[in-house]
């Protein structure tokens, strides 16, 4: 099985409170913040690795190809996924501010045509834009079945289909999709028993987290190939459809006040806060 996993580099989400808006309000700036792989994309890499290995013997039984669109230094993010165990990487050179979900989906459509994977697995959304659109747009462009918000994946029908547990408001909805398909994953996809590939023994339990890259993995990642393209060389002519006119930070919260009684609290909630 070959799985294509798109990943994105984002500013460290643990320091999101340090993200700033430029003086003219034209853009969000994250200068000085460490760049990391989008957490949901890291879960997607882990899910793809579990689908293509024997977890008990740590033997690879398939191929995971990671791809990313962005400036040249995104190669370091790709190397991180290769150090986890992915076999190959693809870097598509492009400026972050010249792309939206539709452009990214158009790029992935071209990469899909080149790679012809059995499955595309990606994070449900990016923590910087939170648009939750790329997976759905890509599936529509490719004409493939899709399953979003996956918290479990089980290969079925001899590897020709997947049974996916989707997180919905009322619990978990199990759907079956034929391959090839597009799946977007939620954080619970890295649960100890969330992946069943018919190769890893059912008794094997993974840690409830993405794997850390071992020293051996880090060293071997340096030798793994990363193919480079540009958006133009792939024949993508799409332009962003979304234009951001202005950014501004929310107003600072006023200091809290103390009240002497429940009656005073109710009165202030009614007359000042206007929430009741």
pLDDT in tens, 110-141: 999 999 999 999 999 988 888 899 999 999 99
pLDDT of residue 12: 79
The predicted-structure confidence for 7-40, as pLDDT tens digits, reads as follows: 999 887 777 677 788 888 888 777 777 889 999 9
Q: How far apart are CA 135 and CA 147, in angstroms?
A: 9
pLDDT of residue 28: 79
Asked whether the beta carbons of 228 and 67 are under 8 A apart, the reply is no
Smallest CA-to-CA distance from 41 within 14, 73, 80, 91 is with: 80
Which domains does the chain show, CATH number per domain?
2-251 (3.40.50.620)
> Helices in 55-209 by DSSP H: which ranges?
75-84, 101-115, 134-142
The first and second tokens of residue 50, run together, are 């579990």
pLDDT of residue 187: 94
In whole angstroms, how far apart are CA 119 and each of 116, 135, 219, 234, 245?
A: 9, 12, 28, 20, 37
The predicted-structure confidence for 202-230, as pLDDT tens digits, reads as follows: 999 999 999 999 999 999 999 999 999 99
Four-CA torsion 136, 141, 145, 150, nearest 10 degrees? -20
Segment 191-201 shows an average pLDDT of 96
pLDDT of residue 11: 83
Give the predicted TM-score (pTM) of the model. 0.88
In whole angstroms, how far apart are CA 46 and each of 15, 79, 236, 243?
A: 23, 14, 29, 33
């Amino acid at each position: 099985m070959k799985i294509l996993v798109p990943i994105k580099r984002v500013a460290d989400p643990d320091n999101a409170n340090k993200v700033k808006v430029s003086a003219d309000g034209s853009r969000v700036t994250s200068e000085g913040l460490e760049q990391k792989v989008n957490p949901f994309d890291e879960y997607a890499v882990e899910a793809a690795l579990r689908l293509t290995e024997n977890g008990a013997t740590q033997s690879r039984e398939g191929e995971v190809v990671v791809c990313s669109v962005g400036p040249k230094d995104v190669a370091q993010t790709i190397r991180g996924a290769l150090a986890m165990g992915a076999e190959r990487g693809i870097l598509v050179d492009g400026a972050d501010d010249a792309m939206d979900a539709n452009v990214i989906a158009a790029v992935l459509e071209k990469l899909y045509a080149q790679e012809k994977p059995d499955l595309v697995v990606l994070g449900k959304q990016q923590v910087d834009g939170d648009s939750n659109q790329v997976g759905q747009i890509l599936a529509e462009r490719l004409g493939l079945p899709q399953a979003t918000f996956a918290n479990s994946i089980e290969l079925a029908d001899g590897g020709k289909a997947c049974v996916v547990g989707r997180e919905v408001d009322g619990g978990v909805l199990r759907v079956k999709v034929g391959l090839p398909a597009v799946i977007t994953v939620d954080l619970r996809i890295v649960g100890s028993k969330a992946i069943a590939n018919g190769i890893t023994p059912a008794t094997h339990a993974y840690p409830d987290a993405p794997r850390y890259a071992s020293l051996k993995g880090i060293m071997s990642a340096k030798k793994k190939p990363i193919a480079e393209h540009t958006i133009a060389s792939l024949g993508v002519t799409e332009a962003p459809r979304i234009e951001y006119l202005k950014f501004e930070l929310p107003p600072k919260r006023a200091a809290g006040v103390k009240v002497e009684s429940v009656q005073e609290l109710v009165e202030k909630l009614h007359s000042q806060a206007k929430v009741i």
